[in-house]
Structure 1
Amino acid sequence: MNQHLSLVSLVVADYDEAIAFFTRALNFELSEDTPLGGGKRWVIVRPRGQLGSGLLLARADGPAQRARIGDQTGGRVFLFLETDDFERDHARMTAAGVRFVGAPRHEAYGVVAVFEDLCGNRWDLIQSVKRN
């Protein structure tokens, strides 16, 4: 059996605002933006150059979903953005206005810093330690 994780749905307030954040601040690519009717869209963003996993930006529909914007995991780190050059990406993201909630840390598994997306969801920017 051949399976892979394709998309993770991220509840957002506004499609265009979310697209702008992910493509400008995080340097992601807009992979797809298809109108579905009734104001809904199928919007996928991915880290630049990636063909695999991506985020489905899902505009909140109704009060229950709006209440979850920015708090999809109760304040825990939700997503992990792995990089091959932590210093480069940390500096670029900081210059783009990304809010890091603490200084970079050196852990046994790599260099990491927690940041928040435009909605307040927490992410790790991480450069993993290569293990043999």
Structure 2
Amino acid sequence: MMITKLKHVSVFVLNQDSACDFYVNKLGFKIHTDAPMGPGQRWLTVSPPEQPYLEIVLMSIKEGMMFKKEAAMQMREMVKNGTFGFGVFECNDLLATYEELKAKGVVFIKEPTKEFYAFEALFKDDSGNWFSLTQKESS
């Protein structure tokens, strides 16, 4: 038997409501699941429009099931400082997407640049996680 796909991946966020607003209203993702998950917890997932089967879990960093108090504080600081989260998103037209996202208030830490590995820009989400945005290569 072989693994056939990745279905869920977590992005740790400082505030789920704010993160949901960022991923849905700025990046254009769709809410896949938003359900209570125990006291004070919420299972909140979003999906890129062309990958509805991939659920990005916007995971709140709170003391409780996953984190002890000190670990939650450390993790929150790591995310705030941009030292923890990272991912690569792809788009069809980097320059147009860059301008559209910038107009929506997305903070870029690197403008579109042709690198040896890709045409990319770097941005941060509202929690501090940073992402590479690359242009899909033509086949």
TM-score norm. by structure 1 comes to 0.86
> Within 2, Cα distance between the matches of 1:110 and 1:128?
9
Say how many residue pairs are matched.
131
Provide the rounded CA distance (Å) in 1 between the counterparts of 2:110 and 2:88. Answer: 16
> Displacement of 1:76 after TM fit?
6.9
| Cross-structure match for 2:66 | none
User: Separation in 1 of the partners of 2:94 and 2:116?
Assistant: 15
What does residue 46 of structure 1 align with?
47
Q: 4+ residue runs of structure 1 moved beyond 4 angstroms?
A: none
Q: Tell me, yes or no, if structure 1 residue 84 matches structure 2 residue 98.
A: no
Secondary structure of the 2:59 match is strand
Task: Return the offset for 1:17.
Answer: 1.1
* Corresponding residue for residue 71 of structure 1: 78
Structure 1 residues 49 and 66, CA gap change in structure 2 (3 angstroms): farther
**In 1: Cα distance, 2:58 partner to 2:119 partner:** 28
Tell whether 2:60 aligns with 1:59.
yes
Amino acid at match of 2:59: A
How many Å apart are 1:75 and its aligned residue? 2.9
Distance in structure 2 (CA, Å) of the matches to 1:121 and 1:43: 17
Does the C-alpha gap of structure 1 residues 20 and 10 become closer, same or farther in structure 2, counting only changes over 3 Å?
same
**Matched letter for residue 106 of structure 1:** K
Q: For the structure 1 residues 115 and 20, does the alpha-carbon distance in structure 2 shift closer, same or farther, using more than 3 Å as the test? A: same
Normalising by structure 2, we get a TM-score of 0.82
5+ residue gaps in structure 1?
none
From the two aligned structures, give the one with the greater strand fraction. 1
1:22 corresponds in structure 2 to 23
Partners of 2:119 and 2:85 lie apart in 1 by 15
What's the counterpart of residue 99 of structure 1?
107
* CA RMSD, 1 decimal: 2.2
